[in-house]
Amino acid sequence: MSFDFFAPCPRGLEAPLAAELAEIAQRRLPPGALQLGADVPGGVHFRGNWAGGMAANLHSRIASRVLLKIAQRPYRGEQDIYALAREQQWEKWFSPNETIRIDITAIKSPLRSLEFATLRVKDAICDRMRDKAGARPSVDTAYPDVRVFAFLTANDCTLYLDTSGEPLFKRGWRLDKGAAPLRENLAAGILRLTGWTPEMPLYDPMCGSGTFLAEAAQVALDIAPGLSRSFGFERLKQADTAAWRHLKSEANTLRNSAMSRATDLHIFGSDISDVMLEKARANFARAGLGKVPLKQLDARNMTPPAVGNGVLVANPPYGERIEVRGRNARGEARAPREMRDDYEEQEAFRRVHTDAPDAEFFQALGDALKQRFTGWRAFFLTSDRKLPGQLRLREAAKTPLFNGALECRLFRFDLIAGSVRQRPASAGQDVAAGKNPGSADQNS
């Protein structure tokens, strides 16, 4: 049996996701199990059988979810949406004992209230189940067994069953405490955009809880990102359990053989915060990635951690203020100890309580890049368009990406011997990169 799937992803990562899905089809599946469709803003369509949908869940590092299309039809109002949902054979997918949650996203929908439309989809599913299965499912918005998504455009309503459950950036190994600002699937997509491959050194000098490093280590070791978690499709009646057992057992075999190669990683991290490094170590341990070397270091003092031209990637603290620890001559306030294990809380605190300009920190960081990282390519994800000016480096490329709702740029700097492109701090912040953003030119 074949289905239409849609894999949403962080905006800006559609092309890397399409490339990744093509690789999954080629490396993990028999021919025809996953056939790529169009990539559209916010995700990629594909067609496939159960194994295709399951493999996308298990192996995609970039997708946020994998949604299975149930129905699509033009609509004008809530009643049309109710009728479409009421006609679907939900009883074939789950029983009334399962709890449900409905989510609606809309682009240019004429409807006035999406909440009301959500209620109508819920009513339709419950009415159908009461008729056909003798009881209605309960709603659980926090931990539902089954999630239904409705996507509304100006004219069409599409209903999807979510085969992922929890979003796919939740790999199952991150410690909950101390929210990490960077989602795993965004980090994985950025790694792909950098053109990094496991033979090259990779260094994150502001690694925080280690998201880039953990994602890179899993790529290097060929560890399926979904191996430590469960999926929504495991609760669906029609799911092909034999195909799932096969896919999982293959991925387990790969992981077990990868563990013996763990010493070959060329992945390095440092951060000024010992608290963040503790978190990174705990995360690596839970993910079975014990051998990523980490150092407590001010990024201004960084040196290449390995011989050879590598890739440096980081998302420096956002915002116009940064606390530069260890050189805070003005003695600005620091977050109290009990606050220091929550990064976002710390950042909010710093913005309010510190007055140290970014400029000095980023200028010193730029100097470190120019003086010590010849031959490397550096990538910074930030919402601050002034970053190249602050580093005094001219970017080779800039790729628009969204970190949640926050519009960011992934700036690339090529630190080529004798030709590092200097840029005065006063240069306009949005000077064109001279090359298209995106993955195509990332290795040039």
Ligand X SMILES: C[S@@+](CC[C@H](N)C(=O)[O-])C[C@H]1O[C@@H](n2cnc3c(N)ncnc32)[C@H](O)[C@@H]1O
Q: Residue numbers of the site for ligand X (CB under 6 A)?
A: 180-182, 205-212, 271-273, 276, 298-299, 315-317, 324
For 271, the token pair is 């951060």
Nearer to ligand X, 166 or 278 (CB): 278
Q: Which is nearer to ligand X, 236 or 408 (CB)?
A: 408
Tell me the residue number closest to ligand X, measured at CB. 208
| Cβ neighbours around 438 below 10 Å, total | 16
- Of the pair 140, 320, the CB lying nearest ligand X is at 320
Q: Is the torsion defined by CA of 303, 307, 312, 317 positive or negative? A: negative
SS3 of residue 257 by DSSP: helix
The C-alpha atoms of residue 261 and residue 267 are separated, in whole angstroms, by 13
Burial 73-86 (b: 16+ CB within 10 A, else e): eebeebeebbebbb
Which value, to the nearest 10 degrees, does the dihedral of the CA atoms of residues 142, 70, 57, 181 take?
A: -40
* Helices 14-28, 184-194: crossing angle, 10 deg rounding: 90
How many whole angstroms from its chain centre is CA 368? 29
State the angle between helix axes of 50-59 and 241-259 in degrees (0 to 180), rounded to the nearest 10.
30
Task: State the nearest-atom distance from the C-beta of 261 to ligand X, in Å.
Answer: 24
Distances (CA, A) of 89 to 67, 127, 239, 383: 17, 12, 15, 45
Minimum distance from residue 147 beta carbon to ligand X (Å) = 26
Phi and psi angles of residue 186, each rounded to the nearest 5 degrees, phi first: -70, -45
CB of residue 89 vs ligand X: minimum separation in angstroms? Answer: 43
Nearest distance, CB of residue 348 and ligand X, angstroms = 13
Complex with ligand X: residue 201 or 269, whichever CB lies closer = 269
Residue among 210 and 310 whose Cβ is closer to ligand X: 210
Q: Which is nearer to ligand X, 5 or 349 (CB)?
A: 349
Please report where in the chains the tokens 């129905």 appear, as a residue.
71
User: Between residues 111 and 207, which has the closer beta carbon with respect to ligand X?
Assistant: 207
Cβ 350 to ligand X shortest distance, Å = 9
Give the CA-trace dihedral at 419, 424, 429, 434, to 10 degrees. -20
Where is 414: in which H helix or E strand?
A: strand 406-414
Nearer to ligand X among residue 76 and residue 295 (C-beta): 295
Q: Is 131 exposed, middle or buried (0-12, 13-18, 19+ CB in 10 A)?
A: exposed
Residues paired with 103 in a beta bridge = 149
Structure tokens at 335: 């977050």
**CB 439 to ligand X: min, Å:** 20
Q: How far is the CB of 301 from ligand X (least distance, A)?
A: 8
As a whole number of angstroms, the distance between CA 183 and CA 211 comes to 8
Pair type for strands 146-152 and 100-106: parallel
Residue 158 or residue 399: which is nearer to ligand X going by CB?
Answer: 399
Q: Shortest Cβ distance from residue 99 to ligand X (Å)?
A: 32
Secondary structure of residue 34 in the 3-state scheme? strand
Considering beta carbons, is residue 163 or 273 the nearer one to ligand X? 273
* Shorter beta-carbon distance to ligand X: residue 181 or 198: 181
Q: Report d(CA 50, CA 70) in Å as an integer.
A: 14
The nearest distance, CB 180 to ligand X, in angstroms, is 4
Q: Shortest CA distance to 232 belongs to which of 105, 169, 125, 147?
A: 147
* Shortest reach from residue 112's CB to ligand X, in Å: 38
Query: Treating both helix axes as pointing N-terminal to C-terminal, what angle do 78-87 and 114-133 enclose, rounded to 10 degrees?
Result: 30
Minimum distance, C-beta of residue 195 to ligand X, in the bound complex (Å): 19
